[in-house]
Amino acid sequence: MISQVFILSSKGDHLIYKDFRGEATTDAINVFYQMVTALPGDQPPVVMTREGLHFIHIRQGGLYCVATTTTNASPFTIIEFLNRLAALIKDYCGSLSEKSVRMNFALIYEMLDEMLDYGYIQTTSTDILKNFIQTEAVSSKPFSLFDLSNVGLFGAETQQSRVTPSASASRPIMSSRGDQGGKNEIFVDVVERLTVVIGANGVLMKVDIQGEIKVKCYLPTCSEMRIGLNEEFSVGKSQQRGYGAAVRVDECNFHQAVRLDEFDSYRILKICPSQGEQTVMQYQLCDDLPSAPPFQLFPTVERDKSDRLLIYLKLRCDLPPKSAAINVSVTVPIPKGSLSMSQELSSPDQRAELQPSSKAVHWEISRFPGGAQLSALFKLEVPGLSAASLLEVGPVSMSFELPKHTCTGLQIRFLRLTPVQPNPSPRWVRYVTHSDSYTIRI
Amino acid sequence: MPYLGSEETVKELKRALSNPNVQSDRLRYRNVILRVIRFMTQGLDMSPLFMEMVKAGASVDIVQKKLVYLYMCTYAKLKPDLTLLAINTLRKDCADPNPMVRGLALRNMCNLRMPGITEYIQQPVLTGLRDKASYVRRVAVLGCAKMRNLQPDAEIDGTVVNELYGLLRDPDPVVMVNCLRALEEILKAEGGVVINKPIAHHLLNRLKDLDAWGQSETLGFLLRYRPRDDTELFDILNLLDGHLQGGDSAVTAATLRLFLQLASGHPTVQADALVRARGPLLATCTASSRELRFTGLCHVQRVLRSLPAQFSPDYKKFFCSYSEPGYIKFRKMEILVELVNDDNVVLVLEELQAYCTDVSPELAQAAIFAVGRIGRTYSERGLAILTGLLGLRQEHITSAVVQTFRDLVWLCPQSTACVCQAIAGCEEIIQDSDGKQALIWLLGMHGDQISGAPYILEDYIDSLKTELSTLVKLELLTAMTRLFLSRPAETQDMLGRLLHFCIEEETDMCVRDRALFYHRLLRCGVEETRQVLGGPKSDPSLGLIAGRPEEPINNWAAHFNTLEPVSSSGSVVAGIGCDGAALPTLGGSDGTTHSAANCTLAVQEASEDLCSGLPEEATSFNLTLGPALTPEAFEKLWLELETFQTVSLPCSEPSSQPETLQAALQLVQIQALAFSRPGSVPWKAYLYAHGSETIILAELLCGPGSDEDRLLVTVKQEPRDEKVQRGFLSVLETVLQTLSSFLW
């Protein structure tokens, strides 16, 4: 049972505070903030205790969402609840940030009032909550030229509005100004998080893909939706389907509401999505990547005659030629005490800089097409360079985003709403792979 | 700004709230109220507006009503008299045709935490229990609990309790769960809601109708139920089976806990449940929410205590990714150390080696300690990595490596030669006191194998004036005296200077006392000093015993899915736990060094008392540590020999740290082989000693079967010698009594 719930900004401003049981004082907020900011680095902050009051918090969007309790409650339940609260705020207010919470505090209070009574969780389902919540969300959309282009000359809808759905997915689910275009959209996102460790000899040491299919639905009432996955999709090590390259995952689990009666034979998920965002399916794959890892690195590290450290990196992108990686950033740890760096990059749209504070070189490439190969040469001035200093170079870590690409090869064949609705609502399917952790040893 | 001049703000808001123009404009009125709530959240005192806010509550606008109720619940305690004005409106709302308005009014009326409110809410709550809308019933059920907690001294109303038990069969699942919650609170004094067989089976059958929150909470209530026989037990477990592998982590954890506790008498069933929950548990360890990931990891650690092999094939899941926060990485490293086996040791060490050069010094050091812990079992591989790291010549890395060396040398004597070679040159790099202590300890203990040892220590002596840490000075004194015993020619002069400085110029009492102690000891003679400081140079038996026995699942099952495994104070316990020891190691790593150092001091001072207090008889014979006995040899001998004598000594279980006890026993030449964890029942210890060509084995037992304050000692001897045996017992008794009187 939860005693209080509060939301703080990263600077410690009180954004939301609700006391459910009157067991603890308002002072708890300040106590929490002092504890969490004064915590030494190696102490786990998730659960903290002061005088019999347990503080459990999550950090999302730069905010602290905190629940306090006096009982020895289930940490899984409370953390899942806070995550759900954050997701609901995102659904209702469009985004989770200090600004959106400040603007919509009345709505969040109203939500909390229905979600918890006397500290006990009552419901967190969007379908039920929307009947009780009356406040309208105030969305904080930054002024953007894209919005203007959508209007078009004489108010006519231009072609452009059809191809930029990504911005419109971050708006509140309930809005009374309903005549806006694209209100009844459905977004289906296939998001994969990739963890890779590549050994010094170029051998793949660890691969781990965590994927999920998320549905974000703006339809007020949605009948049944059918999501068709690749027919070759197989689960587990032994199962094989189809003749072509199988799309295989180790394990997958589904949202409670998904019906799987056609999953075994046709790989169709059936769900009646409720308004807002929900994760329909989660899957994992490890140790067995169907295609080559997206990046290969060929590093050379040596000392030159004038005792400078030379790091020569050749980076190849092994994606299919049509796709590309964006926001690629390569971090190379370098010996402590490196003073300055000169660089030679293979094309002008890249940037590299030396960051002495984190003793690393950051190399950034905004767009990296598949099949391409880029190289960079860094010459570092390191006083007192020794053979051991070379050991401090590496491992290289990379972060990137692969739009329109899934590493497992999972695809959505079709998306059907039954019964067919009179004015078909726009449906969008998006694929993206994020690098959770991509490490290459040198 | 609202933070300044809040009185002005209050006045302004008051004017706005009572302005008829504002009141007539719905949007403006609501906006003013919103401002009040915003200031309230920021912690400003808005209670002077109570009157105006109550008036604003009598509106048809539901949003406005909700905001006003929120305000009233916050300030009702401060303004009880004014709150009564609002009661009428609330009671009227409780009869509104719209169930939402009814529920809202009832909920908030019960939330007004002020004395005397109960007489007004009793009737509406009772009516609410029979309301036809489930929304109102949910509110009313919890209202009963709130009412009860407002007047905790009053009699429990039997009719309400019966009605709530009846409502367990309500068609609405949330009403059912709320009933459980309310009954739990109302009957707190009597041990909470009673789960008998019909209720338990009813709850189990309703589980599938509940949402995830309700399920995990109901599963928690079911923990209380004890099935009559095995048939019923297995029926229940079959029903629950599906939830073990459901998608929701909270439900899985709650089900697993219930499984473990229901099947507490069937270890195979428990193990089987853990095997099947492996997938979902691993999934939480890789969840996208960091906090959930952390919780999962903490629980995996618990499982590993009993089933160390459980997660070994999945070791790659516990590799850190660079974007993770430190607290998750620390946990993952602890887990990696535990699940190491012959198959994965190469890859795990390789992974840990990569963390040793991390940007964060704390993380790098933790990784080095982890490599050291694996090195206790796989010493060659560990040493190769650690010596390689010394080449980096980084302050924090070298310091951690030397600390790891100290622990390794103590537990694995075969690594001594390699370590002695490697530590040359480290003194220039180490700056922190922990590292210095470790280095000085190594130089003192194994100075005979390190050619430059006296000169390195001399540098420390020369810079003693600028040394700030007391512990380093204490360690230096011990090390120097020890080294003097093995290399007197080179160290005599330095030791003299050191003692002189510490006695004459040192201001810290602790250091001065220690220096005085060594001074007096040396004046007694070299042989006496050797006896006090000699001791063994390593203790592999301790390392072997420290190989952690598998803990029964029931030891931690009760705390599964509670805050205990996750909370920061719990991590201290977990830290010791993963240090590998049901039997804590001497000179242990990490945080235990400080206490160990303090204990050494205490023991050494205790020894002064001991030496003077030993009875005549005891000093007339000689105990020696003699040839070391391996645990296996001890066990064999123990089983072979017949009990010579069993006596009961009038002292309780030593409440001191095992390190202290062990060191104290060593001072009188008794070697301790194994201890139980302090505080465990029964508490046991196994000791042996050589004396007058006989060997004495002894078992200390404290716990059930013997009195609280008496210690049962079973002595076996080979060959038998009455006199030595009596002497041994009297020495043992003196040590134990001195320890309990000296330390506690």
Residue of A nearest to B391 (CA): A388
Q: Which strand (E) or helix (H) includes residue A56?
A: strand A53-60
Residues of A in contact with B366 (CB under 8 A): 42
Structure confidence at residue A243 (pLDDT): 55
Structure confidence at residue B258 (pLDDT): 92
| Confidence label for B583 from pLDDT (cuts 50, 70 and 90) | very low
The domain ranges of chain A are 4-130, 183-290+408-440, 295-403
Q: Which of A122, A289, A385 to mutate to test the interface with B (most CBs of B within 10 A)?
A: A122
Question: Residue written as tokens 């990059």?
Answer: A345
Instruction: Choose among B290, B321, B357: nearest Cβ to A195.
Output: B321
Top-level class of domain A295-403 = mainly beta
The helix/strand/coil state of A232 is: coil
Q: Tell me if chain B has a CB within 8 Å of the CB of A256.
A: yes
- Mean pLDDT of all residues in chain B? 81
Question: How far B548 CA lies from chain A's nearest CA (Å)?
Answer: 25
Angle among Cα A26, A29, A35 to the nearest 5 degrees reads: 140
- Mean pLDDT of the region B99-121: 87
Structure confidence at residue B415 (pLDDT): 86
Angle among Cα B90, B92, B96 to the nearest 5 degrees reads: 110
Residues of A in contact with B41 (CB under 8 A): 14-17, 105
Question: How far A161 CA lies from chain B's nearest CA (Å)?
Answer: 32
Residues of A in contact with B565 (CB under 8 A): 75
Structure confidence at residue B166 (pLDDT): 92
pLDDT exceeds cutoff 50 at B512:
yes
Residue of B nearest to A441 (CA): B354
Question: How far A390 CA lies from chain B's nearest CA (Å)?
Answer: 9
- Give the range with max mean pLDDT: A65-69, A155-159, B349-353, B695-699: A65-69
Mark B348-374 as b/e (b = at least 16 C-beta within 10 Å): bbbbbbbbbbbebbbbbbbbbbbbbbb
Q: How far apart are CA A201 and CA A324, in angstroms?
A: 25
Cβ pair B326:A42 closer than 8 A: yes
Cβ pair A45:B327 closer than 8 A: yes
Cβ pair A113:B66 closer than 8 A: yes
- Mean pLDDT of the region B490-509: 89
- The one-digit pLDDT tens for each residue of chain A (442 residues) are 899 999 999 888 899 999 998 888 888 899 999 988 888 766 778 888 888 899 999 999 889 999 999 988 899 999 999 999 999 998 888 888 898 898 888 899 999 999 999 999 999 888 888 888 877 777 655 544 444 444 444 444 444 334 444 455 666 766 544 444 446 778 889 999 998 888 888 888 888 898 999 888 887 777 788 888 888 888 876 655 555 567 888 888 888 788 888 888 888 898 888 888 888 888 888 877 878 889 989 988 888 888 788 889 999 998 888 888 999 999 998 887 788 888 888 888 888 998 888 888 999 998 898 888 999 999 888 887 777 777 778 789 999 999 888 888 888 888 888 776 666 677 888 899 988 889 888 8
DSSP B290-337: HHHHHHHHHHHHHHHHH-TTTTGGGGGGGSPPTTS-HHHHHHHHHHHH
Among A86, A412, A369, A91, smallest CA distance to A247 is for: A412
Q: Which of A25, A36, A77, A124 to mutate to test the interface with B (most CBs of B within 10 A)?
A: A77
Answer yes or no: pTM beyond 0.90. Answer: no
My answer on whether omega of the bond before B627 falls inside 30° of 0, hence cis, is no
Structure confidence at residue A8 (pLDDT): 92
CATH number of A4-130: 3.30.450.60
Cβ pair A76:B366 closer than 8 A: no
- In three-state form (DSSP H/G/I as H, E/B as E, the rest C), the secondary structure along B109-175 is HHHCCCCCCHHHHHHHHHHHHCCCCHHHHHHHHHHHHHHHHHCCCCCCCHHHHHHHHHHCCCCCHHH
Question: How far A121 CA lies from chain B's nearest CA (Å)?
Answer: 7
- Mean pLDDT of the region B17-35: 87
Instruction: Choose among A22, A26, A120: nearest Cβ to B178.
Output: A120
Question: How far A158 CA lies from chain B's nearest CA (Å)?
Answer: 36
Cβ pair A54:B74 closer than 8 A: no
| Confidence label for B92 from pLDDT (cuts 50, 70 and 90) | confident
Q: How far apart are CA A369 and CA A347, in angstroms?
A: 13
Instruction: Choose among B41, B217, B316: nearest Cβ to A16.
Output: B41
Cβ pair B316:A395 closer than 8 A: no
pLDDT, one tens digit per residue, over B285-310 is 888 888 999 999 999 988 888 887 88
List residues bridging with B691 in a β-sheet. Answer: B623, B694
Q: Which residues contact A306 (CB under 8 A, 6 or more apart)?
A: none
Instruction: Choose among A74, A195, A439: nearest Cβ to B561.
Output: A74
Q: Which of A80, A206, A392, A440 to mutate to test the interface with B (most CBs of B within 10 A)?
A: A80
- Structure tokens that stand for B378 in this block: 């796989």
- Angle of helix B158-167 relative to helix B134-150, nearest 10 degrees, comes to 150
Cβ pair B41:A58 closer than 8 A: no
Neighbour tally for A332: CB within 10 Å: 27
Structure confidence at residue B603 (pLDDT): 44
Q: What is the DSSP code (8-state) at residue B439?
A: H
Q: How far apart are CA B335 and CA B302, in angstroms?
A: 10
Instruction: Choose among A15, A44, A208: nearest Cβ to B571.
Output: A44
Structure confidence at residue A422 (pLDDT): 67
Instruction: Choose among B41, B288, B289: nearest Cβ to A14.
Output: B41
Burial class (CB in 10 A: 0-12, 13-18, 19+), B699: middle
Q: How far apart are CA A192 and CA A211, in angstroms?
A: 4
Judged by CB atoms within 8 Å, which residues 96-115 of A form the interface with B?
A: 105-106, 109-110, 113
CB-CB contact of B218 with B210 (8 Å): yes
Number of helical (H) and strand (E) elements in chain A, helices listed first: 8, 25
* Domains parsed from chain B with CATH numbers: 6-223 (1.25.10.10), 340-540 (1.25.10.10), 603-742 (3.30.310.10)
Question: How far B350 CA lies from chain A's nearest CA (Å)?
Answer: 10
Backbone angles phi, psi at A312, to 5 degrees: -115, 120
Q: Which residues contact B111 (CB under 8 A, 6 or more apart)?
A: A118, B69, B73, B146
Q: Which of B32, B142, B321 to mutate to test the interface with A (most CBs of A within 10 A)?
A: B321
Q: Which residues contact B719 (CB under 8 A, 6 or more apart)?
A: B693, B694
Which CATH superfamily hosts domain A183-290+408-440? Mu homology domain, subdomain B (2.60.40.1170)
Residues of B in contact with A76 (CB under 8 A): 216, 249-250, 252-254, 284, 292, 295, 561
Q: Tell me if chain B has a CB within 8 Å of the CB of A360.
A: yes
Q: What pairing do the DSSP bridges indicate for beta strands A412-418 and A14-19?
A: unpaired
Q: What is the DSSP code (8-state) at residue B346?
A: H
Q: How far apart are CA B181 and CA B175, in angstroms?
A: 10
Q: What pairing do the DSSP bridges indicate for beta strands A233-235 and A276-286?
A: unpaired
Instruction: Choose among B279, B323, B326: nearest Cβ to A436.
Output: B323
Judged by CB atoms within 8 Å, which residues 186-225 of A form the interface with B?
A: 193, 195, 197, 205-206, 208, 210, 212
Same fold, A183-290+408-440 and A295-403: yes
pLDDT exceeds cutoff 50 at B222:
yes
Q: How far apart are CA B342 and CA B340, in angstroms?
A: 7
Residues of A in contact with B330 (CB under 8 A): 42, 44
CB-CB contact of B340 with B361 (8 Å): no
Question: How far B460 CA lies from chain A's nearest CA (Å)?
Answer: 26
Backbone angles phi, psi at A325, to 5 degrees: -100, 145
Question: Residue written as tokens 């799309």?
Answer: A247
- In three-state form (DSSP H/G/I as H, E/B as E, the rest C), the secondary structure along B335-352 is HHHHCCCCCCHHHHHHHH
Residues of B in contact with A99 (CB under 8 A): none
Residues of B in contact with A1 (CB under 8 A): 181
Q: Which of A19, A32, A36, A47 to mutate to test the interface with B (most CBs of B within 10 A)?
A: A47
Judged by CB atoms within 8 Å, which residues 22-61 of A form the interface with B?
A: 22, 26, 29, 41-49, 54, 56-59
Cβ pair A109:B67 closer than 8 A: yes
Structure confidence at residue B595 (pLDDT): 39
CB-CB contact of A393 with A320 (8 Å): no
Amino acid at B57: G
CB-CB contact of B468 with B431 (8 Å): no
- Tell me what percent of the residues of chain B surpass a pLDDT of 70: 86
Residues of B in contact with A19 (CB under 8 A): 74
Question: Residue written as tokens 């399916």?
Answer: A281
Residue of B nearest to A13 (CA): B42
Judged by CB atoms within 8 Å, which residues 281-310 of A form the interface with B?
A: 282, 284, 286-287
- Angle of helix B526-533 relative to helix B470-486, nearest 10 degrees, comes to 120
pLDDT exceeds cutoff 60 at B610:
no
Residue of B nearest to A131 (CA): B100
CB contacts < 8 A, A to B, total 217
Question: How far A135 CA lies from chain B's nearest CA (Å)?
Answer: 6
Q: How far apart are CA B671 and CA B693, in angstroms?
A: 16
List residues bridging with A439 in a β-sheet. Answer: A197, A397
- Mean pLDDT of the region B17-33: 87
Question: How far A6 CA lies from chain B's nearest CA (Å)?
Answer: 10
- Structure tokens that stand for A71 in this block: 């009982």
Instruction: Choose among B145, B279, B321: nearest Cβ to A118.
Output: B145
Structure confidence at residue B543 (pLDDT): 52
